[in-house]
Structure 1
Amino acid sequence: MISDDQQRPKIRQDETQASDLVSPPPPPAVKHHVFYFDDELVVLKVEDTLFRVHRHFLKMHSKAFCAMFSLPPDRPTEGKTDTDPITLTHTKAEDFARLLTLFYPKNIRGGDLTTVSEWTSVLAVSSRWDFEVYRTIAQEKLSQLASPIQRILLSRQFDVKEWLVPAFLELCVREEALTLEEGKILGMENVILLADVRQAIRGNGRVTLAERAVVNLIAAKLG
């Protein structure tokens, strides 16, 4: 028969082995330096529509919103409830919604915006609220999508100076004259300028000056 004294060392040995198998507690988790958002939603009113979106995207991409959110609110509930939203003036709800699709796209691969009208909305809102990156993206998209006439009008409306001369050049050197509808869209001032340049560069119905000379002539006419 085994005595109690003979069993005690074995028990102590088993306890020691079990304690060796216990893992130390894991270190505390750390917040990711980029993708840990200490953020809240903000309620915005644009025309008659309410939007509730993340402040993070607005602050990150817009100098205007960054400055706005850095100031203390006028009221404790401002921008936090549907009854006390932050109102955005001189902005269309449809335009603002289209810009927000860049933050929350449904189509990850190709994006949700494909038309001149949609990207014009982005250009309008980004110009109004100082979204520099999205204004640049809108300009790049519209450079590809918009017609010369559309680029002339948008250039004047949103101060995209680099569009004017190339757009006028396309219209000046094309074989077809302006249609009545195009003339109505462009307006009298632009039509007269185009006619003046076309007359100066054409002889016997053909372009007589090199493209660089035409560009310089257009730039001079535009002042």
Structure 2
Amino acid sequence: MSNSDKPRPTRARSTSGLPASPSRQKLQSRRNSSTEPTYAPRRTQAERSETTRTQLIDAAIKLVRANGLSGLRTVEVAELAGVSRGALMHHFKSKHDLTVAVIRHVNDISRSESARRATIAKRSDQDPIEGIIHDAHDFYFGDYFFIELAIAMSADSESRVLKRETLRTSRTSRFSVEAAWLEALMATGISKQVASDVLALTLSVVRGFSVRMLIERDPDQFAHLLKVWRNIIRHYLDSMPTDRPIKRGSK
């Protein structure tokens, strides 16, 4: 058989009689598909604005933690946040406004988390002393406490107002946290006076270790001493007279 007599391969033809190209076949396949394309919902202007504001605050937190308040530069904040200087000025007119926002932000987050933990301890069989130590450790050994220290210890003349703002905001936040943990302790059956004493002493111990970190970094030793403190508190509570059984929690 000659080459001219060999059968030729057939091609798919379109309705117009012309061969259908691969791209047209794909397009027709998409049109025939029952799956509709999905699109992410567009964010509102308020949502975009809030995202930008949060990015700026997060960037400022990182810079204050690394360089202190005196090392905070709005230009660097905008650069780290990935926004323009104009966008920063739109949300925060000055370095003071930005720093106040940082103070309020870190206190809002820590207060909310502490209140959540205290509520769980109050409604469950968890040991509230363990909860207080864990919660206080997270705060006083974390970035937020040292950011407040950096602001409070700043020597700038411009920081006087910030120091007052920091003190006022911190007092409101920490007193709220202490009130939540006081309720959790009293829910175990101990008196308000004993609960207040235990709470104040425990917070002072943890806070003291966090300050100690400035001159000695020995987390294993601190963890050991906190366990010793917990045992001291347990023995103290066991020796207290009470009119009703005390819920001890897990040991």
Q: Give the TM-score normalised by the residue count of structure 2.
A: 0.28
Q: Give the TM-score normalised by the residue count of structure 1.
A: 0.30
User: Looking at both structures, which has the greater relative contact order when contacts are Cα pairs under 8 Å and sequence separation is at least 6?
Assistant: 2
Q: Which of the pair is proportionally richer in helix?
A: 2
